[in-house]
Structure 1
């Protein structure tokens, strides 16, 4: 099972993504992830959620090979809806979500952590949205929550990545630690939150979402419309075919 939920006695609920080789999630896994986070938040015993991953990197986005091996727009629509639901589940989880990020965090990975409440990263972690290189758009909404506007635009247009150490200076990453210490660091912050009155924390999460200047759900849905246009025009297929041919 690639999405592994685990309830602890201390009020911390851990959701682990384990989808080798690079945690590039197929359509079903995005929906499974959304369901796992939603269910964790519904459980009154949950005070905080830790979202983590096994393997070389946190998340490599959608499974492009699945998309290219599926006829029509079925996989594209599924991935669009799956990512939307997973990002939304993180953002609307009634309790804070702490993301523990190692290695690469790309595309959909940025969508997840951009909607999280706290990010702890390993010292080898880096973040990026390579959608332009894939003939698609998306997750600028979430990248904009990690860096200032002009930097976001440059990263988006160029498909450059940014390190966890650099994000630390922008305040979007709370702490950068050696990879071996990542889980411990994330659980330490989660435990600090879990020790608070959960009634207050749940109210605080709802209040903070309510004062956000951007509606992330509608903003991301708007972006997805342009991705679909690029697909209808055949542009996205050209780029995804090239990606698959190169064996990445």
Structure 2
């Protein structure tokens, strides 16, 4: 995710000479940015204007020892880690903290990020954070940090649910008699096309669904299963609840 965001910032005109990446084992794609002027693992440490933390939450406390020398009282610290609270970030790193949760469509500029600022974040720092996050898609700001666990469950993890839908739609097509390659393509293009229609349309998801559904038709037959007892509504409610609980656990 950090790499996707950095790629978006550079594509948007950020001077690569203003960027340093702290990563013991950078991927080939990230390492290639050195040719553009991005610095890696600087030996000298001094407070920076902005620090973006994009590590696994389980690794944060170890990484924090390395990151803390780069943080001064005026440093904007933007975290995209699941579960890690503003209080934990302030305790480990310090700085003016913005807690954010993007998702993987950020890699193609179609992400959605929700962010919450600490009380000491200035208007200018919030604007900087907004500009950085908006480079990879849309941004929503909230005032209540407690919402972030549910945000993580819905949009942070949400792309995986959509990919699972495509995966299972393809599998079900094969079970219904379609060749595997054809079923996979139908599922991929259907999910992608429906997502783009939803993106472009002003209609609600419920209205778009109803527009596809003829009374007594094939879609209605399928939806009677998906919307029935123990159907998608109940499964999704349980899934989001499980992810929300796990996000809270990661903060401990």
TM-score by length of 1: 0.27
| Bigger helix share | 2
More relative contact order, 1 or 2 (CA 8 Å, 6+ apart): 1
